[in-house]
Amino acid sequence: MINLILQYDKRVRYSLNAILASIDKLGVSRVLLSKSFDESLRHASSPPRGEKCVYATSLLTTMLADDSYLINLVETVKRIREKGCLTIVGGPHASGDPYGSLSVLGFDFAFIGEGEKTIADFLSALENNLDVHSVKGLAYRDRETGEVSFTGRGKSVNLDDYDPFPYWRGIVNPIEITRGCSFGCFYCQVSYLHGFTLRHRSVEKIVNYAEISMKLGLKDLRFISPDSLSYGSPYSTNPVNMEKIVFLMESLHAKTVQYGGRIFFGSFPSEVRPEHAQEDVLRIIRKYVANKELIIGGQSGSERMLKLVKRGHGVGEIESAVDSALRTGFTPSVDFIVGFPGETEEDMLSTLKLAEKLVGKGAKIHLHYYIPLPGTPLGLKNPSPLPVKVRKEWSRLVGAGKAYGSWLTQETLSKKIIELYEKGFVYPRKAGLASAQLLHPSG
C-alpha cells in the first residue's frame, strides 16, 4: 500500500477531483488529503515503517505569483523529499514548464498533459516494484547529472473511462463534457495541454453523473467545456452538431424533472465560441437551461489582434453572436482580454469601441487582462501596458456597471509572472524549448 499525500488546493479542485477518482479506483494507495503545506509535512513524517510515500500536487502558474506560497512550496517539497517520499506535480504549470518544475521547484516528477491515466500507471508501477521511469507522460531529473528526461507523451484519455469526480467520497463538481480544442489560440493552454481533437463524454455517462450529483444534493448542474456548443463534433471548427446537443439537452432535462434540478449550459464554467452561438441552436437550448446569461468568447474588437492570436473568427461573428443571444432571450456576456503582447493603442480602442456597441445592444462585458502562460505559443511574452486613455475608458464602463471582471488583479498577476520568469523561477529559457517540444502536438 502506498501512502499518497494529496495536497488539495481548492483553486485546482476540479482537476484534482478527477485525479483523486482515478487514484481511488486503482485501490493501491492510502490517500491522505492535505489542505496546507504543514499538514502535508505532518503526513510525510509518519508513514508506517516500510511503506512507500508519494506527495502529489497540482499547480497553476498564477499560484506561484504569491511569494509566500512559492517559498513554502519549494521548502515543503525539499523537506518531504528528505523524508524519503517521491514528489510529483501535475496541472497546467507542470505541463507548461516541466523543466522549471523539476529544477527550480524541486519535484522528482512532472506530469505532462492529462493526469488520470498517468497517475494510475505511476502508482501501479510503484506498487509492483516496476520502474516508474518507463511510465508515459512524465518528465524527471537525474539526481546526479541534473539532466531532464521525458518518457514520451501519454495517450489521450477516453473521458468515458474515467469518473469526473470521486462521488463515493460525497465530492461532486461541474461535469467535464468535452476536452481539447482545435483552435490553439496563442495565449491559451487548452489545445497544447489536451490536444486539437475533441473528446466528449457520452450523453449516457453525463446523465449518469448528473443523476448522482442531484442525488447528492447538487441541483444546479454545470458543465466544463472549452466551448459547450462544440459538443458532439470531432473538431471545434465543425458546425454545431445540433442532433447531439438536442439529445444531450433532452436527456438531461428528463433527469432534472425527476430530481428537481436545473441545467446551466453555455455559462460558467464554460462558454461558447461566437461562430457557434447561432439563433437556431440557442433557441433550442433556451427551452432547457436555467441560465439567463450566455458567455461568449470575443477576446478582442481588433481584427488584427484576433488574427495575431489565432482566434479563428472575426469581429462580425462576435456581433452576430450577441444579436442571436438577445433574440433568443439570453443576456450575452462577452469576454474580452486587454494587454495582449503586441497590442497597440489602436487595437485597444477598437475593442473599447466594440464593447460600447455591444453594451448599447444589451450585452455585458467580462473584462480580463492577458496572463502569460508557459506552454503556449505566446509563452511568457510581456503584456502590453494600458495607455491612460484606455484604462480610464474601461474604468468608466466598469463604474457604470456595464463591464466587470478581475482585470486589475490579473494585471498585477501578469506582471508578477513575468518577474518570476525574469528571475528564472518559471520557464527557464532552456526549458522553453523543451516545453514547446513536449506540448505542441501536430494537431
Q: Residues 215 to 254: which contact ligand SF4 by CB under 6 A?
A: 226
* Shortest CB 112 distance to ligand SF4, Å: 18
How many residues make contact with ligand SF4 (CB under 6 A)?
10
378 binds ligand SF4 (CB under 6 A): no
Residue among 4, 132, 185, 352 that touches ligand SF4 (CB under 6 A)? 185
- Give the closest residue to 213 by CA, choosing from 164, 179, 250: 164
Query: CA-CA distance, 229 to 278, in Å (whole number)?
Result: 10
Q: Which is nearer to ligand SF4, 269 or 428 (CB)?
A: 269
- Per-residue binding string, ligand SF4, 266-285, x by CB under 6 A, is -------x------------
Joined together, the cell numbers standing for residue 366 give 467580462
Q: Which is nearer to ligand SF4, 89 or 272 (CB)?
A: 272
* Shortest CB 105 distance to ligand SF4, Å: 25
* Shortest CB 259 distance to ligand SF4, Å: 31
Q: Which is nearer to ligand SF4, 52 or 273 (CB)?
A: 273
Q: Residues 105 to 124: which contact ligand SF4 by CB under 6 A?
A: none
Residue among 184, 261, 339, 372 that touches ligand SF4 (CB under 6 A)? 184
Residue among 183, 265, 340, 369 that touches ligand SF4 (CB under 6 A)? 183
193 binds ligand SF4 (CB under 6 A): no
* Shortest CB 373 distance to ligand SF4, Å: 11
94 binds ligand SF4 (CB under 6 A): no
180 binds ligand SF4 (CB under 6 A): no
* Shortest CB 184 distance to ligand SF4, Å: 5
Q: Which is nearer to ligand SF4, 39 or 293 (CB)?
A: 293
* Shortest CB 188 distance to ligand SF4, Å: 3
Binding piece for ligand SF4, criterion CB under 6 A, among 3-11, 14-22, 187-195, 409-417: 187-195
Contacts of 232 (CB under 8 A, 6+ apart): 200, 241, 243, 244, 245, 248
Give the chain as a 3 state SS string. CEEEEEECCHHHHHHHHHHHHHHHHHCCEEEEEECCHHHHHHHHHCCCCCCEEEEEEECCHHHHHCHHHHHHHHHHHHHHHHCCCEEEEECHHHHHCHHHHHHCCCCCEEECCCHHHHHHHHHHHHHCCCCHHHCCCEEEECCCCCCEEECCCCCCCCHHHCCCCCHHHCCCCCEECEECCCCCCCCCCHHHHHCCCCEECCHHHHHHHHHHHHHCCCCEECEECCCHHHCCCCCCCCCCCHHHHHHHHHHHHHHHHHHCCEECCCCCCCCECHHHCCHHHHHHHHCCECCCEEEEEEECCCHHHHHHCCCCCCHHHHHHHHHHHHHCCCEEEEEEEECCCCCCHHHHHHHHHHHHHHHHHCCEEEEEECCCCCCCCCCCCCCCCCCHHHHHHHHHHHHCCCEECCHHHHHHHHHHHHHHHHHCCCCCHHHHHHHHHHHCCCC
Contacts of 238 (CB under 8 A, 6+ apart): 230
305 binds ligand SF4 (CB under 6 A): no
- Per-residue binding string, ligand SF4, 30-59, x by CB under 6 A, is ------------------------------
* Shortest CB 307 distance to ligand SF4, Å: 13
* Shortest CB 125 distance to ligand SF4, Å: 33
439 binds ligand SF4 (CB under 6 A): no
Binding piece for ligand SF4, criterion CB under 6 A, among 24-32, 83-91, 179-187, 392-400: 179-187
Q: Which is nearer to ligand SF4, 174 or 297 (CB)?
A: 297
Residues contributing to the site for ligand SF4 (CB under 6 A): 181, 183-185, 188, 190-191, 226, 273, 297
